[in-house]
Amino acid sequence: MNLAITDGVALMPQPFGAGLALWTTGDGAPGKVSLEDDQDARLVKGDVDFGTCLELRKDTAIKRLRAIMETPILPGRYLQISARVKAVAGPLPQVRIGGWAGKPGGGPAKVGISFGPTVALTRNDQVTEVLAIVGTGQRIGVDLVWPMAAYGHFGLDLTGECGGALRIADLRIVDITSTFQSDLLAAIDVRDYGAMGDGEADDTSAFAAADAAADGRAILVPHGVFRLADDLVLTHRLHCLGQVTQPDDKRLVLKRGFGFESYLTAFGDPRTAFLKAFQALVSMDDQVSLDLGGRIIDLDAPLVLPPLGSATKKTMGGCRIHNGAFRAVPGQGWSTPDHARNASPRDAYVLDLSQLGRVRGCLLDRITVQCGGVANGVLLPDGGQEDAMRACEVLDSKDHAIGRPGPARD
């Protein structure tokens, strides 16, 4: 791999020998005073360790050195920034890699840490290497986690006692993405594209970016809680070790690996998993059924299938839920109904289909509803269509096995 260019993208600043006008003791942004005009900086040729190098005197509490060149920060990429340094005179400083993060279009990006580990120089003329890793993902070993940055100006920070001088070899920036992920691996990690997994940050755009870059690989959701605040369609298979959360009115559509088990692995809770899978089902043109795989879904309150809404791309005649069971378990939800169509406690149904509107053809196929004596069975869609169910069982209902929408009874 070329150290300066990865996939056609230039990473490393020009060497000091190309001119000190390419470097600054500011943040590196255009318009700052360059080293060419700094009396504490000079170019040294023929150093026994470094050849052509920069000599810099520390005259402030934090002496900064930054390249004016913008090094791109690309989603999913990890860069190692390193420099060899040695003290040559005066008090011994401390040294660390430092950077300034820029956002798309210019201006500072909001980042947490902008410098790497500090290294103390212990004697003159001893060559010491300092390094740090920058990337978009919250990974072990990454010093500068910059998910919002588009580029950076990189260099060194000199801290500690003032008055000393040191020499600095050319800065090296190397793409070490293969240390964290490989094109040979079967999965791509959402953290590499800015996902935080803290249950608070919106990770929707990071998931979308990972999906765009997956190129046939699965999308790995590591341990953590990943909040998706908006609708999201994923075209690659989702492999979840952590948990996904999403508002009730937003949809997660899994184009690859669609099925109840996929949603259960993502959301953890069977009730939420079923509702999210149903939302996706009615919005997908290429999927007609939701197989529960023989699963029993325990419910402590009525399961109300939400209105289809204008986003639905198919009629309900093209949807089928099959091969599973819904089981009522004791809970307050059966005595205090939470939906308008069941205004009376005795009218609480395990499955409430009344808000779907008119359904053409079978909706429930080979479904068992176990009421446990605490709830009624199935409240049919608008119009009371018995053909919405086929080869289904309703067991041990409290008052009604099958109900039809209408005003609540006294």
Q: Tell me which residue of 215, 212, 211, 205 sits closest to 238, measured CA to CA.
A: 211
145-175 residue pLDDT tens? 998 899 999 999 999 999 999 999 999 999 9
172-203 residue pLDDT tens? 999 988 877 654 467 889 998 989 999 999 99
The helix or strand, by DSSP H or E, that contains position 364, with its residue range, turns out to be strand 364-370
Q: What is the pLDDT of residue 343?
A: 40
Q: What is the pLDDT of residue 45?
A: 95
Q: Give me 193's structure tokens.
A: 């594209």
Q: What is the pLDDT of residue 350?
A: 96
SS3 assignment, position 45: strand
70-92 residue pLDDT tens? 999 988 889 999 999 999 999 99
Full DSSP string of 178-203:
HHH--TTSSEEEGGGGT---EEEEE-
95-115 residue pLDDT tens? 999 999 999 888 899 888 899
In this prediction, residue 141 has a pLDDT band, given cuts at 50, 70 and 90, of confident
**By percentage, how much of the chain surpasses pLDDT 90?**
62
In this prediction, residue 8 has a pLDDT band, given cuts at 50, 70 and 90, of low
Q: Give me 268's structure tokens.
A: 């953890």
Q: Is the pLDDT of residue 279 over 70?
A: yes
Please tell me the distance from the alpha carbon of residue 209 to that of residue 27, in angstroms, as a whole number. Answer: 29
Q: What is the pLDDT of residue 185?
A: 62
Strands 303-304 and 252-254: unpaired
Q: Is the pLDDT of residue 405 over 70?
A: yes
Q: What is the pLDDT of residue 2?
A: 40
Average pLDDT (248-268) is 93
Residues of the chain with CATH 2.60.120.260: 5-178
Q: Which amino acid is at 364?
A: L
| Average pLDDT taken over every residue of the chain | 87
Residue 143 φ then ψ, to 5°: -85, -40
CATH superfamily of domain region 5-178 = Galactose-binding domain-like (2.60.120.260)
280-332 residue pLDDT tens? 998 888 888 899 989 999 999 999 988 766 545 445 556 789 999 999 999 88
Q: What is the pLDDT of residue 117?
A: 93
Average pLDDT (227-255) is 94
**By percentage, how much of the chain surpasses pLDDT 70?**
87
Q: What is the pLDDT of residue 177?
A: 86
